[in-house]
Every structure is written in structure tokens, then in C-alpha cells.
């Protein structure tokens, strides 16, 4: 960091942003329950942005250029790269904005612990196997990231955060065939109880997959329930609609006070969420992350996003949102499932377009209930549009947590197209 600051001073650079990122990481790969390989690493990166104020026809513009610098570079090489950035920035003519100034507002909690990783290995060692289910392999990634952000306006902040990723492959079989289930779980500090729950659910659904029957015409139902992590794709549509860059580029047209989402929809951004891998005290521009109510009772309250587009849209009192929470819905899962329904719990691929709200996905695993009995199904697809469903959309009272989000466990939709194979 000091070499970069010295080089900037010698080159008389007045506006800059430096992000120093140090990652301490470990990886373990196991075949079955037996360790096959492990390794550790320490990586340091420096990201430099140089800004230029450009005057043209009595108007001010802001140019910028960025690069990654190596810790091994000497001052001379850093200076050469800075000169290149100054030239590159002179060709960029964006609307003018001021860089962020220092702030004393801090709501995010600093995470200084990775937690007890041994608990994760204990969970995997206790993974229940039988004649139908086997643990194929798993890989665990652990990292602690330390970040320092410095800019020319006096911002100089540091924070750290833990992150884990667990990739698990489960084999399931019956008399007819065998399948592989891939589970990818992200978290900050380990939550052993939640990890057991997710792996148990994955095991039960793996057993269901091998006995699923193809989706048929008689399984088509007006009431479609989307559950598990698939709900995140729908809720992220609403997050996108509230981003300041989406407003500036006219991908979103919502305004403060507009209706957004189903009735009584409540969405808030959080600087800290327990066991999240995205508990950042500051954003990448050095601004503190704060709690913000984005939607309350179905009405837009605030926007969120980075400093540049906040400046462009005159929404300077914004914050970045890395964790978010949605309030519980109006009915329980039991009530939601008391009438005939088609519930989809796994897709081969499920996507929701952040601008149009169009969604579609190929069904990997679902359950059809005709009012009397439940059948496991697979195959076929669904499609629809979020905006077409908002008036009749129902969220469950039960909540589920997925790394950086707490959301209703299920969404009931009634305007969905269902296609059989």
C-alpha cells in the first residue's frame, strides 16, 4: 500500500481509490469420507483506480481507469502503470461526481473469526449412508479476507469477513437407475444445525428423484408453489428494480411511493446477517453499509447501490445491499398445501429476468398433490411473469435462510404456464 501511495504522490495524482485485499484460504477435498487432498494459500491483491476531471464546453466530466497491481512490483513499475491509467482515464467522459468522503457511521459488525471448521468435518463424517444413498465426494473451501480501502478524499477503512463453500456430491439409486445430486452451500461462520438440515433435505430429495415419474397432463395444476432456494431468483428481481444503476439506465422505472411486490411486501437490506459470508462493514468505495428499508407494505421507500450511480440519480443517501430480509407472508405452508398444488423444489435451471420479470425453468424434482395423495414428479417446465402474478402471489409465513438472505420458504403463484414433456 505504501509503495502505491508514494507512487501516486510522485506522479501528482489528485484523485484515486486503492483496495487492498488479502485472502487466507484453505481447501480440503475428500473422496467419500476420506481426505484425499488439502492445501493452504495466502494471496494479496491491490486494485487501483485513477480519476481525471475533464473540462469541455464549460462542463465537468469524470474519467477513470482501473487495474490490478502486484505486491512484487517496485515503485518504478507502479509509476509506469499509473501513467498508463492517467492516459486511459482521459478518454473516458462520464458525468461528474465527487468521490466518497470519510464517514463515522458504521452499522456492520466486523467478523474476525472463521468459526469452528471441525464441526463441518464432523457433520460429513456422520453423513448417513445406506443401500440407496452414498456420499460420493465433497470439497470444502475456507477463507478469511482482510480488506483495506483508501481514497484521495481521506477514506481509510479496514474490515474482514469469513467465507466458506461446501460442495457435496451424493449418489442415489434404486433397482432401475442411479443418479448424482450436487449440493453447493455457502456460509460465513459455520451453522452446524443448518448444515445438517440442508444435507438431510438433500438426501431425502435424492431418494425421491430416483422414484419420480414424468410430469403428465393430469399433474398440471393452477396453483404452483416454488420453494427452497428457487425463491431467491424471484426476490432478486425486486432487488434489481431498486438499484440506482437500473434507474439511471432506465431498466427500472419505479419511484418512491410506487407499488412493488405483493400486498404487505416488506424488503430490507442488512449490513450484518448471522452466518452470512457477505457481512461487509463497507462497500468497495469505502462507504459504510447500513440497514435500509427498501419496500414497506408494498410501497417503495428507498433505493440502493453504489456511490457513482447514487450521485447520477440524486440518491446520495444510499447504501450497498449485500444481505437482505423479506418479511413473512400471510399463510402457513400447511394451509398453502391444503388444496391441490404442484410444488417445484429443484430445477435443472431456473432464471428470472431482472428487467422484464419473465421466469422459466425445467423441472428436476417436484410434488403434485391432487387433494388426496402426493406424487413425486420430474420433467416438463414452467414459465410466467412476476408482474402478472403480483396481485395473487402469496408468501409463506415460514422463513428460510440461504447464506445472505432470509426469505419466505415458499411462493404460491396462480398464473404459470406448465409444459409436459
Q: Which of 413, 332, 347 is nearest to 380 (CA)?
A: 347
pLDDT of residue 222: 87
Please state the rounded mean pLDDT for residues 148-154: 96
Confidence tier at 114 by pLDDT (50, 70, 90): low
Residue with cell 413425486: 376
Please check the confidence at residue 387 and state whether its pLDDT lies above 60: yes
Q: pLDDT, tens digit, for every residue of 311-360?
A: 999 987 899 999 999 999 999 999 999 999 999 999 998 999 999 999 99
Percentage with pLDDT > 90 across the chain: 87
Please state the rounded mean pLDDT for residues 102-106: 76
pLDDT of residue 51: 96
Q: pLDDT, tens digit, for every residue of 157-193?
A: 999 999 999 999 999 988 878 889 899 999 999 999 9
Cell of 348: 435443472
pLDDT of residue 401: 96
Please state the rounded mean pLDDT for residues 236-253: 96
pLDDT of residue 109: 57
Domain ranges of the chain: 2-205, 212-421
Confidence tier at 110 by pLDDT (50, 70, 90): low
Kindly state the DSSP code that residue 304 receives in the 8-state scheme. B
Q: Which of 96, 95, 100 is nearest to 153 (CA)?
A: 100
How far apart CA 295 and CA 289 sit, in angstroms, is: 18
- Range name among 25-39, 100-114, 165-179, 323-337 with the lowest pLDDT average: 100-114
Q: pLDDT, tens digit, for every residue of 189-220?
A: 999 999 999 999 999 999 999 999 998 888 88
Please state the rounded mean pLDDT for residues 221-249: 95
Confidence tier at 1 by pLDDT (50, 70, 90): confident
Q: How far is residue 289 from each of residues 149, 152, 279, 379, measured CA to CA in Å?
A: 14, 20, 9, 42
pTM over 0.85: yes
pLDDT of residue 116: 77
pLDDT of residue 107: 55
Please check the confidence at residue 64 and state whether its pLDDT lies above 90: yes
How far apart CA 199 and CA 212 sit, in angstroms, is: 20
pLDDT of residue 57: 85
Confidence tier at 150 by pLDDT (50, 70, 90): very high
H/E segment holding residue 136: strand 133-151
Confidence tier at 103 by pLDDT (50, 70, 90): confident
Confidence tier at 106 by pLDDT (50, 70, 90): low
Q: What's the whole-number average pLDDT of the chain?
A: 93
Cβ atoms of residues 418 and 342 within 8 Å: yes
Homologous superfamily (CATH) of 2-205 is PmbA/TldD superfamily (3.30.2290.10)
DSSP string for 42-82? EEEEEEEEEEEEEEETTEEEEEEEEEEE-TT--HHHHHHHH
CA atoms within 13 A on the CB side of 228: 15
pLDDT of residue 349: 87
Cβ atoms of residues 391 and 399 within 8 Å: no
Please check the confidence at residue 112 and state whether its pLDDT lies above 70: no
Confidence tier at 115 by pLDDT (50, 70, 90): low
Amino acid at each position: 500500500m505504501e509503495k502505491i501511495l508514494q507512487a501516486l504522490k510522485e506522479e501528482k495524482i489528485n484523485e484515486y481509490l486503492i483496495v487492498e485485499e488479502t485472502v487466507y484460504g484453505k481447501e480440503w477435498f475428500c473422496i467419500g469420507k476420506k481426505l484425499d487432498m488439502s492445501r493452504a494459500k495466502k494471496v494479496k491483491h491491490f486494485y487501483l483506480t485513477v480519476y481525471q476531471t475533464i473540462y469541455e464546453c464549460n462542463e465537468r466530466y469524470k474519467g477513470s481507469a482501473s487495474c490490478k497491481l502486484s505486491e512484487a512490483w517496485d515503485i518504478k513499475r507502479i509509476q509506469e502503470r499509473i501513467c498508463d491509467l492517467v492516459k486511459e482515464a482521459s478518454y473516458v467522459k462520464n458525468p461528474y461526481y465527487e468521490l466518497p468522503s470519510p464517514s463515522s457511521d458504521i452499522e456492520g459488525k466486523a467478523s474476525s473469526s472463521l468459526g469452528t471448521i471441525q464441526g463441518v468435518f464432523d457433520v460429513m463424517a456422520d453423513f448417513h449412508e445406506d443401500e440407496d444413498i452414498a456420499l460420493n465426494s465433497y470439497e470444502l473451501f475456507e477463507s478469511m479476507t482482510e480488506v483495506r480501502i483508501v481514497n484521495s478524499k481521506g477514506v481509510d477503512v479496514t474490515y474482514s469477513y469469513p467465507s466458506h463453500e461446501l460442495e457435496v456430491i451424493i449418489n442415489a439409486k434404486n433397482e432401475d437407475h442411479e443418479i448424482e445430486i450436487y449440493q453447493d452451500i455457502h456460509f460465513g461462520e459455520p451453522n452446524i444445525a443448518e448444515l445438517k438440515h440442508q444435507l438431510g433435505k438433500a438426501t431425502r430429495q435424492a431418494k425421491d428423484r430416483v422414484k419420480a415419474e414424468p410430469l403428465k397432463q393430469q399433474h398440471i395444476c393452477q396453483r404452483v408453489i416454488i420453494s427452497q432456494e428457487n425463491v431467491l431468483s424471484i426476490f432478486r428481481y425486486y432487488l434489481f428494480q431498486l438499484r440506482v444503476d437500473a434507474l439511471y439506465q432506465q431498466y427500472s422505472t419505479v419511484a418512491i411511493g410506487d407499488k412493488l411486490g405483493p400486498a404487505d411486501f416488506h424488503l430490507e437490506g442488512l449490513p450484518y446477517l448471522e452466518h452470512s459470508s457477505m457481512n461487509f462493514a463497507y462497500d468497495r468505495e469505502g462507504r459504510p453499509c447500513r440497514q435500509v428499508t427498501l419496500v414497506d407494505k408494498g410501497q417503495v421507500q428507498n433505493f440502493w447501490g453504489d456511490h457513482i450511480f447514487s450521485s447520477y440519480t440524486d440518491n446520495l443517501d444510499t447504501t450497498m445491499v449485500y444481505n437482505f430480509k423479506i418479511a413473512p407472508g400471510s399463510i402457513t405452508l400447511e394451509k398453502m398445501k391444503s388444496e391441490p398444488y404442484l410444488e417445484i423444489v429443484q430445477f435443472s435451471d431456473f432464471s428470472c429476468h431482472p428487467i422484464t420479470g419473465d421466469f422459466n425453468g425445467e423441472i428436476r424434482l417436484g410434488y403434485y398433490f391432487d387433494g388426496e395423495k402426493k406424487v413425486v414428479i420430474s420433467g416438463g417446465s414452467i414459465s410466467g411473469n412476476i408482474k402478472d402474478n403480483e396481485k395473487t402471489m402469496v408468501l409463506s409465513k415460514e422463513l428460510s435462510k440461504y447464506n445472505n438472505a432470509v426469505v419466505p420458504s415458499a411462493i404460491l403463484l396462480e398464473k404459470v404456464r406448465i409444459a409436459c414433456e
